[in-house]
């Protein structure tokens, strides 16, 4: 039995699958579809596959059968997010910028800060989420490399999240009146679309991604799908950039697992021993914000995911009652398995990310990188009232 509630009060789920089909069938339009790290380990539940099954290759086949022109991987953009966010963190440490820096790839969390705690919006990393980065580069670099007209190109993302629809609608994430992300399908909408078109994901062979140069990714990009993943991915790269050598172990265990708040210290050379924390679920995040406000917490870097567990249990995934914990664990284990089996596990090692900077952006944090890959946040406290956190959680519990 599925629930349709996002704990962040994001735009409700409204099925846009047929819009995607219209674009696939329009000979004037070229479509680029990419899916999130958590999408591949959650959609299999709709087809009776093993909990946490990694359906990456079958998803590519299915999207191609629906008629997409190009299928790429958002994990690649997650590696780009790390390059920008890692650089931004080091700059904040060097120049006395606003700390703790807070991750901003969770759109539910960004909405929450803007609406309920705008006093913390300077703490949010200005780096866009992987979806926001992919969209901007699809309409610029990708279009240029493939000789496509950006006005006739549509980027569709498949996400575990209803709040990503809000993110795609942000005016800050558009250029020349065109949104960078044209359409967001939740994992549930995607599964429904496959059923409507008679496509059984569990019976499909695997197909590789279409465009290696916006798909090849490292294990660091893959772990974005679970709580602690963004922090671990960022530390792998920040440590290397600051200390000139890799972390002793690529697995940064203290930020893994389902504990509500996870803390760790990392030696960042000239910046000393830096305290970081990871929190998931808005109730827990609220408590951490209060600790920061009162000076009880002295973190320099904080990862927040609005959904308990992170995107593996996002409001747009397949939710099956009475199996929440076992499914979350299986999805999380699958994400870490993907990481473990990647030949490259650090974002700064990704040859296609290196190529992006060599051929297009210059270096992380460059002017053009800022123009395309960063954003700004608004104080939305005075926007029409939204649900209180208690109301939101009541709905989630009853959902
Ligand atoms: Fe969306 Fe993931 Fe944030 Fe949940 S944790 S609101 S699924 S981005």
The answer to whether position 311 is within a domain reads: yes
- Domain coverage including residue 139: 19-381
Question: Is residue 330 domain-resident?
Answer: yes
Q: Give which of 57, 44, 134 is closest to 353, Cα–Cα.
A: 134
The residue ranges of DSSP E strands in the chain, in sequence order, are 30-35, 70-73, 101-102, 153-159, 174-175, 178-179, 183-186, 261-267, 273-280, 301-305
Helix axes 130-137, 74-95, angle to 10 degrees: 110
Helices 389-398, 282-294: axis angle to 10 degrees equals 150
Q: Is residue 243 part of a domain?
A: yes
**Among 9, 107, 279, which residue has the most ligand 1 atoms within 8 Å of its CB, making it the best to mutate?**
107
Ligand 1 binding pocket mutation candidate from 305, 309, 317 (most atoms within 8 A of CB): 305
- Number of structural domains in the chain: 1
Q: Which two tokens stand for residue 267?
A: 């030696």
Flag whether 95 is in a domain: yes
Model confidence pLDDT, tens digit, residues 238-250: 999 999 999 999 9
Which residue has the least CA distance to atom 8 on ligand 1?
106
The predicted model scores a pTM of 0.92
pLDDT tens figures, 308-330: 999 999 999 998 777 777 889 99
107 Cα–ligand 1 center, Å = 6
Query: Is residue 194 one of the residues assigned to a domain?
Result: yes
Within a domain: residue 389? Answer: no
Which CATH number characterizes residue 310's domain?
A: 3.40.50.1780
Determine the distance separating the centroid of ligand 1 and the alpha carbon of 103, expressed in angstroms: 12
Pocket of ligand 1 (CB under 6 A): 8, 106-109, 160-161, 163, 305-307, 310-311, 314
- State the pLDDT at residue 389: 46
Between β-strands 101-102 and 178-179, what pairing exists: parallel, antiparallel or unpaired? unpaired
Average pLDDT over residues 364-372: 98
pLDDT, tens digit, 9 for 90 and up, residues 252-294: 999 999 999 999 999 999 999 999 999 999 999 999 999 999 9
Tell whether 392 is covered by a domain: no
CA distance 5 to 22: 27
35, 215 Cβ separation under 8 angstroms:
no
> Is there a domain that residue 10 lies in?
no
């Amino acid at each position: 039995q599925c629930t349709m509630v996002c704990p962040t009060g994001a735009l409700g789920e409204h099925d846009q699958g047929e819009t995607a089909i219209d674009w696939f069938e329009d000979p004037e339009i070229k479509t680029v579809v990419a899916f999130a790290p958590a999408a591949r380990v959650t959609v299999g539940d709709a087809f009776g596959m093993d909990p946490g099954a990694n359906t990456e290759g079958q998803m590519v086949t299915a999207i191609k059968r629906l008629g997409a022109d190009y299928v790429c991987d958002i994990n690649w953009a997650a590696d780009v997010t790390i390059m920008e966010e890692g650089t931004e963190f080091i700059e904040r440490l060097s120049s006395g910028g606003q700390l703790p820096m807070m991750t901003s790839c969770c759109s539910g969390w960004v909405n929450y800060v803007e609406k309920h705690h705008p006093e913390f919006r300077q703490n949010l990393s200005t780096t866009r989420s992987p979806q926001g980065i992919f969209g901007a580069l699809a309409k610029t670099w990708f279009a240029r490399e493939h000789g496509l007209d950006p006005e006739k190109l549509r980027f569709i993302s498949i996400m575990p999240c209803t709040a990503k629809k809000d993110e795609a609608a942000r005016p800050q994430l558009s250029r020349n009146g065109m949104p960078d992300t044209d359409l967001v399908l939740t994992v549930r909408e995607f599964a429904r679309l496959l059923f409507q078109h008679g496509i059984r994901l569990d019976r499909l062979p695997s197909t590789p991604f279409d465009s290696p140069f916006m798909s090849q990714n490292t294990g660091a990009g893959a772990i974005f799908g679970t709580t602690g993943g963004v922090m671990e991915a960022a530390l792998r790269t920040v440590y290397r950039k600051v200390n000139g050598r890799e972390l002793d172990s690529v697995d940064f265990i203290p930020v893994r697992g389902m504990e509500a708040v996870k803390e760790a210290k990392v030696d960042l050379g000239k910046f000393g021993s830096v305290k970081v924390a990871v929190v998931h679920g808005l109730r827990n995040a609220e408590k951490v914000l209060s600790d920061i406000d009162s000076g009880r917490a002295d973190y320099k870097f904080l990862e927040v995911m609005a959904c308990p567990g992170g995107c593996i249990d996002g409001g747009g995934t397949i939710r099956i009652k009475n199996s929440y914990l076992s499914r979350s664990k299986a999805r999380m284990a699958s994400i870490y398995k993907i990481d473990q089996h990647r030949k490259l596990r650090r974002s700064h090692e990704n040859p296609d990310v290196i190529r992006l900077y060599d051929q297009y952006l210059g270096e992380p944090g460059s002017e053009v990188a800022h123009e395309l890959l960063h954003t700004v946040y608004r104080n939305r406290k005075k926007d029409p009232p939204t649900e209180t956190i208690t109301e939101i959680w009541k709905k989630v519990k009853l959902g």
